[in-house]
């Protein structure tokens, strides 16, 4: 594929000659991490690599040295590189995404038939293009395109793996959007005409609703492959909610195995699911059920100490939405009181500037 060509050319120019130390794996029973015999020692090397390489971009010579130093830790060369890339994906490395991209591309040179390399590559791209330090719109979309290409390669190699289809759904669900105002500014700025053209080219076929529909279809495929895939169900419900298909969203939220959700995901997702399901009932004009669910959530949160709130709640956007609009008469005052008590007043100033009354006790 074209996205890899420059990497192969670079590797040839650098006289790279990585050969896999293991045969192509069987894809019948893939685990996400291949066992590395000396894990503690290996990750110490990863930490050291991270500390030493934040100031200068990663080079092929550095990767060769890393592979040599970690050889006795076990695991194939491509697996050690893959895990190094995963370790670094949240770091502010000097070369940014290009450094992570180089590590994966190097791993792919000796693992052209290993779906795990391409799956990890795509997941890292999805994570990276959402990070706060990747705010350039061209860079975000370029990274997303790399994620799309690598995940489709993983699907080509292993089309029956639900983690691959889920990763594709997650990429499209979180696909970066470009602010129309920024587009207009770039188009009108004579100093960056080539940037404007590049951005236009990247955006030409992008459509948020189409990406949402693509995500929905991949999440459906995930559930077809694994009917118990809890995150597939959760994000399928998110897609229906975002598309305004309230009844479909409710049915999908209700199908989620909440025990598995608590086991496999952070606890805040359990409570967020409850809030979002209540919201969908409200939007479907099933006010009685919506009120019951919101009331359960309010009562539960109101019983917590500060530490529990910080652990279990990331936001209360849906509750605040209905409390200030469609269910204001039923929920405004108690939502306002709750937000003040748990320290969310600054997060939702609209709940406190609409009335000239004293703040709750």
58 touches 99 (CB < 8 A): yes
Q: Is residue 179 part of a domain?
A: no
Residue numbers of the domain that contains 340: 260-361
Q: Is residue 134 part of a domain?
A: no
Q: Is residue 168 part of a domain?
A: no
User: Ramachandran region of residue 304, left (φ > 0), alpha (ψ -120 to 50) or beta?
Assistant: beta
Q: Is residue 305 part of a domain?
A: yes
Q: Is residue 159 part of a domain?
A: no
316 touches 336 (CB < 8 A): no
117 touches 111 (CB < 8 A): yes
274 touches 296 (CB < 8 A): yes
Give the alpha-carbon dihedral of 304, 294, 323, 352, to 10 degrees: 0
Listed residues 112, 143, 177: the one ending a domain: 112
> Tens-of-pLDDT digits for all 361 residues of the chain?
333 344 444 444 444 443 333 333 333 334 445 568 888 899 899 888 877 655 677 888 889 999 999 999 988 899 999 999 988 877 766 567 888 999 999 999 888 899 999 999 999 999 888 775 566 777 788 888 899 999 999 999 999 999 999 999 999 999 887 666 655 665 565 555 455 555 555 554 456 778 999 999 999 999 999 999 999 999 999 999 999 999 999 999 999 999 999 999 999 999 999 999 999 999 999 999 999 999 999 999 999 999 999 999 999 999 999 999 999 999 999 999 999 999 999 999 989 875 544 555 5
Short-list 103, 212, 204, 116, CA closest to 157: 116
Short-list 44, 136, 52, 36, CA closest to 94: 52
Q: Is residue 53 part of a domain?
A: yes
Residue 111, CA distances (Å) to 7, 70, 79, 104, 105 in order: 14, 18, 9, 10, 10
| Three-state helix/strand/coil letters over 147-197 | HHHHHHHHHHHCCCCHHHHHHHHHHHHCCCCCCHHHHHHHHHCCCCHHHHH
242 touches 317 (CB < 8 A): no
Q: Is residue 351 part of a domain?
A: yes
In whole angstroms, give the CA distance from residue 327 to residue 271.
20
65-73 own/partner pairs: CB under 8 Å, 24+ apart: 67/18, 69/45, 70/42, 70/45, 72/38, 73/36, 73/37, 73/38, 73/39, 73/41, 73/42, 73/45
Structural domain count, the chain: 2
Q: Is residue 293 part of a domain?
A: yes
Listed residues 73, 97, 112: the one ending a domain: 112
Listed residues 112, 147, 179: the one ending a domain: 112
In whole angstroms, give the CA distance from residue 169 to residue 241.
15
Cα dihedral across residues 188, 194, 199, 204: positive or negative: positive
């Amino acid at each position: 594929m074209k996205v890899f060509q420059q990497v192969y050319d670079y590797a040839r120019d650098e006289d790279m000659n990585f050969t896999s130390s293991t045969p192509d794996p069987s894809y019948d029973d893939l685990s996400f991490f291949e066992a590395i015999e000396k894990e503690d020692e290996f990750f110490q090397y990863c930490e050291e690599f991270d500390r030493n390489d934040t100031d200068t971009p990663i080079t092929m010579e550095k990767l060769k040295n890393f592979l040599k130093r970690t050889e006795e830790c076990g695991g194939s060369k491509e697996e050690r590189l893959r895990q190094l890339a995963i370790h670094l994906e949240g770091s502010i490395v000097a070369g940014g995404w290009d450094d992570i991209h180089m590590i994966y591309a190097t791993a792919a040179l000796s693992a052209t038939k290993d779906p795990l390399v391409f799956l990890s590559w795509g997941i890292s791209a999805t994570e990276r293009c959402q990070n706060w330090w990747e705010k350039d719109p061209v860079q975000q979309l370029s990274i997303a395109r790399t994620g799309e290409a690598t995940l489709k390669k993983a699907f080509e190699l292993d089309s029956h793996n639900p983690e691959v289809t889920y990763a594709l759904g997650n990429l499209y669900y979180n696909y970066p959007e470009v602010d129309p105002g920024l587009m207009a500014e770039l188009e009108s700025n004579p100093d960056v005409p080539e940037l404007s053209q590049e951005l236009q080219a990247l955006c030409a076929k992008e459509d948020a609703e189409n990406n949402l529909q693509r995500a929905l279809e991949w999440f459906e495929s995930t559930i077809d492959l694994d009917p118990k895939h809890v995150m597939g169900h959760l994000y399928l419900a998110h897609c229906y909610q975002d598309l305004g298909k309230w009844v479909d969203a409710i049915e999908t939220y209700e199908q989620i195995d909440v025990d598995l959700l608590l086991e496999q995901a952070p606890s805040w997702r359990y409570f967020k699911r409850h809030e979002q399901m209540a919201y969908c009932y409200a939007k479907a004009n099933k006010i009685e059920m919506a009120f019951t669910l919101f009331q359960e959530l309010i009562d539960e949160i109101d019983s917590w100490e500060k530490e529990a709130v910080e652990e279990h709640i990331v936001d209360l956007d849906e509750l605040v939405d209905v409390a200030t609009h469609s269910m204001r008469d039923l929920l405004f005052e108690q939502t306002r009181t709750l937000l003040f008590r748990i320290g969310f007043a600054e997060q939702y100033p609209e709940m406190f500037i609409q009335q000239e009354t004293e703040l709750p006790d």
